[in-house]
Amino acid sequence: MGRHVATVDLPGPVLTAAGCAGTGRELAAYGDLSALGGFVTRTITLRPRPGGPLPRVVESPSGLLHAVGLQNPGLDRFLATELPWLVRAGARVVVSIAGETVAEHAELARRVGQSPGVAAVEVDLSEPDPLDWGLVETREPMASGLVATRIVATCRRELPRDVPVLAKVRPDPLRVLDQALALVEAGVDGLVVGHSLPALMPDGRHAGLSGPSLFPVARRCVAEVHAGLPTLPVMGCGGVATADDARAMLAAGAVAVQVGSALLADPTTAHRISAELAAEPAGGDGAADGAGVPA
């Protein structure tokens, strides 16, 4: 039984999260990519980016701090090499994109949409520090007419109707529903909540915080959006590391989960969760009852 996400039916509810699953080839050594609900690419920009200085990823007591700086080969090389490989491997490819301007998003969406085998586009609207990396400033309150909603409307317009636009938003429980409402008005087909939280590296540089500490925050965001927009497909992302985490996220209203930093400790995590959910969707101990989740 597939799950309805926007206009695609993913074969399962477990995807990889952007920037945590390499190019796909590395993960494929541990499990068949077609066995996952989907493969989200690292964020692709129009031009190649070398990324930032080291250390790029540092352990913190509650998760991982990261400042990779969007290293990626750029759209041309991605479309020529990485995307065809993923499609051949049978992955349901969700292409994550980010741009320096709204016009760049239009070009990214148009060219990704013209490529065969793309299951969805995920617009990264929630980089912890967009300005550090020269991206469009998307930290403003999201209301119609503002840049984040213009980006989504533009991508929606440039993409074929059967390629859904997902927006990845910051895990901010108090504002996430307002964001979602504005993005729905702009034509978004589904939401990913969320990204990492803005943080500082030990050396004082800007970073994002990911991992287990995000889980209850991301889950709260999912619940908030689900309460206000019960029919909007929402993927829960943040600290998912076990099948019980995934069940709890689904119980809060998510249609799917994305697994990020847990893959860095164990590259089989997404496959393992996926297999466990398929075998026991509700969990052995009723974990999916979602006790305490409103609505």
Residue 266 interacting entry, from other proteins, ligand FMN, none, C-beta within 5 to 8 Å by type: other proteins
Is position 219 an interface residue for ligand FMN (rule: CB under 6 A)?
no
| Minimum gap (Å) between residue 83 Cβ and other proteins | 18
Q: Mask of contacts with ligand FMN, 73-92, x by CB under 6 A?
A: --------------------
Judged by CB under 6 A, does residue 20 bind ligand FMN?
Answer: yes
- Nearest approach in angstroms of CB 161 to ligand FMN is 24
Q: Are 263 and 22 in contact (CB under 8 A)?
A: no
Angle of helix 215-228 versus helix 176-185 axis, rounded to 10:
50
Task: Output phi, psi for 258, to 5 deg.
Answer: -115, 135
239 makes contact with ligand FMN (CB under 6 A):
yes
- Starting at the edge strand found earlier in the chain, the sheet holding 206-210 runs 57-60, 63-66, 206-210, 197-200
Note whether 155 binds ligand FMN by CB under 6 A: no
Cross-strand pairs, 60: 63
Interaction between residue 124 and ligand FMN (CB under 6 A): yes
Residue from 151, 155, 207, 237 touching ligand FMN (CB under 6 A): that is 237
In the complex, minimum distance from the CB of residue 120 to other proteins, in angstroms, rounded to a whole number? 21
| Token code pair at residue 272 | 């393992």
Least distance from other proteins to the Cβ atom of residue 293, Å: 26
- C-alpha dihedral sign at 2, 185, 217, 102: positive
CA 135 to CA 35: how far, in whole Å?
33
Token pair belonging to 139: 């930290």
Question: For residues 258 and 69, what is the distance between their CA atoms, to the nearest angstrom?
Answer: 20
Q: How far apart are CA 216 and CA 203, in angstroms?
A: 27
Which residues of this chain interact with other proteins, rule CB under 8 A?
Answer: 19-23, 25-27, 29-30, 42, 45, 47-59, 61, 63-64, 66, 68-69, 71, 74, 100, 133-134, 211-212, 261, 263-268
CA dihedral (238, 113, 82, 19) in degrees, to 10, reads: -20
Least separation in angstroms between residue 246's CB and other proteins is 18
Select from 260, 267, 283, 290 the one that contacts ligand FMN (CB under 6 A): 260
Give the residues lining the site for ligand FMN (CB under 6 A).
17-20, 42-43, 57, 64, 66, 68, 70, 96, 124, 168, 195-196, 210-211, 214, 237-240, 259-262
